[in-house]
Amino acid sequence: MINLPVNANPNDAESASFKRIFEENPAPMYIFDLHTHEFLAVNAAALDQYGYQKEEFLSMSALQIRSAQEVERFKKAILEVRAAYSDYGVWKHIRKNGEEFFVHIYAHCNIFQNRVARVVMAIDIDQKVKAENALKEKNEEIADILESITDGFYAMNENWEVTYINKEAERILNCKRTDLLGKNLWEFFPGSKEGRFYQEYKRALEEKISVHFEECYAPLGVWGSMHVYPKKDGLAIYFVDITEQKKNQIEQSRYMNMIEKQNEQLKKISWIQSHELRSPLSNILGLLELVNENSCNADVIEKLKKAAKSLDDVVRNITEHAQKTIN
């Protein structure tokens, strides 16, 4: 920022040199009265930036190149900052055609034409600010999506430091993002190096490939279906809590084992019934046929035959039911 000579004499060589530096400076510059806000001087770069002729610009005040929303901020800022040179930060200005754009303002106090003034440099940073705002909006949009999905999600850099974690991951991992962000994952969750987590993450990072696996984080007793994707500076991890599903699978496996054991017992019962029990019954029936009805009580023998036959039918019936249960 150039410092104009106080009460400069236009015929003075030094003053003429400063005037030329001001007017030909490639950075847009203007001078305004601190109390009335009237423009007192402007260079060619500022006229080109705002779209005015010199006479037009000098007939205006510093309030007219600002939106109504920023006028009060402007009045407050020029009174609060007392330093000779100040960085006033980013502001939104208005061109002659009504277009709003962002500028970075630098200014210092001076006496110009016997008036207390501000010498201002207004650098056009509109494209930079809009690009930053667009990136910010896109990042916020992505963050909103990641917060709304039902999957757990977190991201890490190449040093295994967590750079983002969504609320679902917080819930599943029973942690707070404020505690985890910036921390080394393996140090924050020391038990996570056990099992497949570390080796699969390392493989995805080094080989730049996506991997999918299922694993249990033992300290929490949580099963996760893990999808790991390499990114430019680390890894992105999506995962689903499948703990209940795994518990159901274990219970189902236990149930199936129990059924198999019952079937084995039924097979044994069926074999005993069809072989060990029926064998003596068959012998009884065979012997009864050989008995001489004249030497024994015919009525008793007949009843014995019926009883043996009835018992044989019962055994057959039990065997059939057992076979149906097994099959």
Taking only the tens place, the pLDDT of each residue in 60-79 is 999 999 988 899 999 988 88
**DSSP for 27-65, written as a single string:** S-EEEEETTT-BEEEE-HHHHHHHT--HHHHHTSBGGGG
Nearest to 194 by CA among 168, 218, 210: 218
User: What pLDDT score was predicted for residue 270?
Assistant: 65
Residue with the two structure tokens 């430019």: 232
Shared domain check, 46 and 80: yes
Q: Structural domain of residue 21, as residue ranges?
A: 13-130
Mean pLDDT, to the nearest integer, of 295-300?
63
- Bridge partners of residue 89, in order along the sequence: 105
Q: What is the rounded distance in angstroms from the CA atom of residue 212 to the CA atom of residue 229?
A: 9
Q: 45-59, 74-88, 107-121 — which is least confidently predicted?
A: 74-88
Shared domain check, 268 and 232: no
CA angle 79, 84, 88 (to 5 degrees): 60
What are the pLDDT digits (tens) for 23-34?
989 999 999 999
Domain count of the fold of the chain: 3
Residue 237 has pLDDT above 90, yes or no: yes
Residue of 136 and 101 predicted with greater confidence: 101
Residue 92 has pLDDT above 90, yes or no: yes
Q: What is the domain-level CATH number for residue 54?
A: 3.30.450.20
162 neighbors 155 (Cβ within 8 angstroms): yes
Shared domain check, 58 and 118: yes
Sheet of 85-94: strand order equals 39-42, 29-33, 115-124, 100-112, 85-94
User: What pLDDT score was predicted for residue 275?
Assistant: 61
The residue out of 98, 130, 162 marking a domain boundary is 130
Shared domain check, 39 and 112: yes
Shared domain check, 254 and 236: no
CB neighbours of 202 closer than 8 A, spacing ≥ 6?
Answer: none
The residue out of 74, 100, 130 marking a domain boundary is 130
User: What pLDDT score was predicted for residue 296?
Assistant: 56
What are the pLDDT digits (tens) for 181-232?
999 999 999 888 888 999 999 999 999 999 999 999 888 889 999 999 999 9
Does any domain span residue 36? yes
What are the pLDDT digits (tens) for 257-290?
776 776 676 677 666 666 656 666 666 666 666 6
Nearest to 275 by CA among 326, 316, 321: 316
What are the pLDDT digits (tens) for 105-162?
999 888 888 999 999 999 999 999 989 888 888 878 877 878 878 789 999 999 999 9
Does any domain span residue 223? yes
Confidence of residue 90 (pLDDT cuts 50, 70, 90): very high
* CA dihedral angle for residue 11, residue 12, residue 18, residue 22, rounded to 10 degrees: -10
What are the pLDDT digits (tens) for 3-18?
555 455 555 666 677 7
Beta strand 85-94 with 29-33 is unpaired
N-to-C CA span, the chain = 96
Does any domain span residue 143? no
The residue out of 214, 241, 268 marking a domain boundary is 241
Ramachandran region of residue 29, left (φ > 0), alpha (ψ -120 to 50) or beta?
beta
Full-model pTM: 0.51
Which run of H or E residues covers position 245? helix 243-271
User: What pLDDT score was predicted for residue 6?
Assistant: 45
Does any domain span residue 3? no
Q: What is the rounded distance in angstroms from the CA atom of residue 167 to the CA atom of residue 172?
A: 9
Q: What is the rounded distance in angstroms from the CA atom of residue 317 to the CA atom of residue 314?
A: 5
